[in-house]
Structure 1
């Protein structure tokens, strides 16, 4: 038994080890991200979801939280409760950093950089709890912080902050070994506190990591069931799972409260489907292939060639050479134990069992798909479990690195593993191009300043093209969230993009009357708009509807130096009335729930399998009856197919669609206030298209007309303008 002095020395040594781990991880971050080139005011990225993250941070700093703002989604504003973030602990961390000053870009970058030492710190603590030596624990901690996954993830900042994963795995391992504090008759108070704290941090760190740890806790209970166990052995695991579920549910309850009183006018944003768990799951081979951006070009080329010929991958999944070595060893140990019955160290058997369970959820067509089918499809990106696989693989390597009794080997091997892992898992050539980011932001800042001076403060800006937020169809090659960048550079203006799809705040934009620019301008003025902006990277400036609008607006009042963003002020004389205001915000949108929109010079079309839907989004607040809908239907993969539109058990329309020729299908429907989806059934077995999708028919050129008292809009007609992407 250790004396008090020995315990004090041990604690002091672990503090020193944790500091070393955090310091080395900071050096890795500085090297990988070339932090010396960064300056305050610059985010590490402007691509992908980075503008969304920056917008959330902006709202946290200036508006207290990120669930409600009037500066985007103008004129109604954004209610982000409809796209709830469960990353409460990260939001609080950002809020704390913001107390020291700085804008959204500065604070976001700071938390991104700090994520490296935070991950190293929690991983070091996990490694020491697994009885790895201190030097080896430092190596494991630094390599986990330097996962290839990390440097690319600013656009998913909350996912990049995966320092809670080792805390969750610590609880999982305790449950699997029967050492969970809730199993004990006389649990130690300190361990109870640490377990509760770990569960709370994991539960408030986002849906993915909370969900993954919950699954692993259930797996640990199953593993525990196969061992010798005392009465009530299940108690600790069940209490841990329940506690984690309760904590993770708190932000969802808060979001539910935030949604109350707002009528849905479309499908809930970011509602996932079962098939997305197939699309965003991982493949085992992706774990073992080199990093796609490896500093050695031949290794990078190998992975790039494989992926170019196969299924697209949306995440960085590579484990790196050290993680692969540990993972392969765990799998081999498990297989040997099954085949020969030969014993292996208990912790290796446990890590190996958890690795195999994790990969069963991670892989395409695995248990993640079962969860999506039977429980919830919301955890679609099962490939993100690669982080857990990497951590288990690094722990396995740490086991063997901790074994040498020779002082020379005990010092040399960890340093060698750290050096190999560092070179393998990082590539400074991929560091953010801070000068390019600064140049782009400075150009936008100058542009928005000029626009604010020309229009005055508190001005609303209609942004073209119109796109759904947070997810929707986009112009080819266009960055989904680029329209949020303007909001980040000028707080005097308000911007139309950013209202939540599925609510009136976002859906009214789908119905703007581009074919009648005078009416549109009056409605905009009545709602507080005083400018229109065009992003020429997404739109051909010679489009007829755009030309007709800009002819009325005259010369632009602001333009970026590269000509990408152009803005016109609205005529002051077009003041608009209350009826103009309501007309603009109250369309009845008629569309199709089917495959992605395809737009060409002749048709707007959507492919469908055996089931599709006709949707109405009635923003007027009053039921609208007597809407006539016509859509052309063409059979795919069969000479004829019967197509039926139903509202419940009532048949609204039917047609026999034929191959290679469009057949019109006409029916009448009523649009209740809010959202409805009618069923469209296509007879016969579907066929596989060139993209390996099940298809039965395609629908084109949807038209809709209604009574004079309502403004009924076809989303196909809106898409034809190439200025609106429904």
Structure 2
């Protein structure tokens, strides 16, 4: 227990200082069941087995039974399945005086059975998720360790049975045949094609990054498009969650925009930047000191054709291209140290809180009392609940209560300026804002309107609570298929101290 606490101590101190990050790793206890281990999938063949009859068995299970997801790949094959059943048998048989391979097999059996009891659907992991923490969820992933134990059990059994009765040569031949059968059983004809494609892609990326490093100074900063959050980004066209991390893999001396943690200031700036016109982005990139733009064209429906034209027009530069529909790099023209921004870019710089002083770049230029709901609130509040993800126009409230904690204590006398609109039954119905023990009300209309709410509190606090009168689901109202529980649309929130 002490070791676990020491290991997670840096995380705990970070949370105390910076608050929890609601944008990352939000888990539900039920996900433990969804991504749980299923014993039957150990024993079933792989879905694309070489033999059509066996492939159909696996496909029928996958198509008709529930909770089939990434655990579909947990098949042990014939050899591994036999080893797993052997471990179960060893675990159930009475313990005798044992030594050598028999003792090792029993230890493996104990560990394997314990893992199954914890990780299986409805196992002890479900209790852990419900009463301790839901953060550990995809328990099916321990199947790789159980598979290793199963194969080890087979090897120990083979050694114990055959080595005593056979000479070394026949034993070697028999072991080789079993191994070859296992490889045949656990591979498919498509595997080689996939491996070849991955190898070619890897080498092409390696060559592209190597060429990039030759043309750029060490430490150059590269801005990446399309914008993808980290970690666990949803797919963007044909790009997977971590495809934008190729630069870190292949280049040793370059810096990349991808990888800023979602819900923190760096990611908030890059997300906001990505919504601006490309010409404005390029102005700010020059201001921030970036040396170029890296584009993975697979992240665009038109393979980046429109974006390519826009960047070429704004920079006048010819990109470095990877053969095929892959990567492109656009060098940014060198600028003077003092970059003069257009009014549009200057406004965006202030909104995003980008400050460059004495060669140092910071993202802390925004006031903790100036909240923009068109941006991720995860970076603007110490913590928040009751808000849906920011959209281009603002954010919807979720349910009947919104609770936010600001990064600084509120003054005791201030005016809270809230720009909001109502939805459905909330139009014309009084909503309230509570700070400490003081409550103020406002009546939202169909369009955004600014409400100035004066507060004078006895105690200083950092918490604001907004109460929604009648949250409603658009689908239930016959408006559209949206199933979210909406109440108010929020555009911005400002705190103006009164002296």
* 1:372 maps onto 2:159 in alignment: no
1:528 maps to 2:269: no
Residues 1:425 and 1:683: Cα distance change in structure 2 (over 3 Å): farther
- The answer as to whether partners of 2:471 and 2:486 remain within 8 angstroms in 1 is no
Show the counterpart of 2:270. 509
Higher relative contact order, structure no. (Cα contacts within 8 Å, ≥ 6 residues apart) = 1
- CA gap of 1:437–1:280, structure 2 versus 1, over 3 A, is same
- 1:658-710 CA-partner distances (Å, limit 9, x unpaired): xxxx978989799xxxx999788898999x99xxxxx962559965235699x
Corresponding residue for 2:339? 576
Decide which of 66, 70, 78 is 1:314's aligned counterpart: 70
Change in Cα spacing, 1:349 to 1:435, as seen in structure 2 (3 Å) is closer
Offset of residue 371 of structure 1: 0.9
In the superposition, relative to structure 1, how do residues 362 and 612 fare at CA in structure 2: closer, same or farther (>3 Å)?
Answer: farther
Other structure's SS at 2:236 match: coil
Q: 1:407 aligns with which of 165, 169, 174?
A: 165
Answer whether contact 2:45 2:75 (CA < 8 A) is retained.
yes
Structure 2 counterpart of 1:553, from 312, 315, 326? 315
- Are residue 277 (structure 1) and residue 32 (structure 2) matched? yes
SS in structure 2 of the partner of residue 373 of structure 1: helix
Return the structure number with greater helix share.
Answer: 1
Q: CA 1:682–1:291 in 2, change beyond 3 Å: closer, same or farther? A: farther
Shift of 1:518: 5.5
Partner of 2:456: none
Change (3 A) 1:706 1:273: same
The structural deviation recorded for 1:318 is 1.6
Render the CA deviation track for 1:467-505: whole Å, top value 9, x for unaligned: 211223332442111122134444443211112223323
Q: 1:514 and 1:378, CA in 2 relative to 1: closer, same or farther beyond 3 A?
A: closer
Is residue 473–residue 596 contact of structure 1 (8 Å, CA) maintained in 2? Answer: no
8 Å contact from structure 2 (residues 128, 134) kept in 1: yes
The answer as to 2:230 corresponding to 1:469 is yes
Q: How many angstroms apart in 2 are the aligned matches of 1:617 and 1:517?
A: 32
Aligned pairs for 1:235-384 within 5 A: 245-253=1-9, 259=14, 263=18, 266-267=21-22, 269-270=24-25, 272-309=27-64, 310-315=66-71, 316-328=73-85, 344-346=94-96, 355-384=112-141
How far has the Cα of 1:528 moved from its partner?
Answer: 1.1
For residue 513 of structure 1, report the CA deviation from its aligned partner. 6.7
Shift of 1:457: 4.9
Superposed, which structure 2 residues align to 1:599-614 within 5 Å? none
Tell me what 1:704 maps to. Answer: 491
Q: Secondary structure at the match of 1:466?
A: coil
Q: Aligned partners of 2:310, 2:403: CA distance in 1, in Å?
A: 31
Paired residue for 2:244? Answer: 483
SS at match of 1:370: helix
Question: Which residue in the other structure is 1:52 paired with?
Answer: none
Q: Is the 2:83–2:154 contact (alpha carbons within 8 Å) kept by the matching residues of 1?
A: yes
Q: Tell me the secondary structure at the aligned position of residue 355 of structure 2.
A: helix
Whether the aligned pair in 2 keeps the contact of 1:559 and 1:565 (CA below 8 Å) is: yes
**How many residues were matched structurally?**
434
Query: Structure 1 residues 680 and 426, CA, compared in 2 at 3 Å: closer, same or farther?
Result: farther
TM-score (norm 2): 0.64
Structure 1: stretches of 5+ with no match in the other structure: 1-244, 338-342, 636-641, 657-661, 690-694, 710-726
Mark the CA change 1:545 to 1:405 in structure 2 (over 3 Å): closer, same or farther: closer
CA deviation map 1:164-201 (0-9, x unaligned): xxxxxxxxxxxxxxxxxxxxxxxxxxxxxxxxxxxxxx
**What is the CA RMSD across the aligned residues, in angstroms?**
5.6
**CA–CA distance in structure 2, aligned partners of residues 698 and 543 of structure 1:** 39
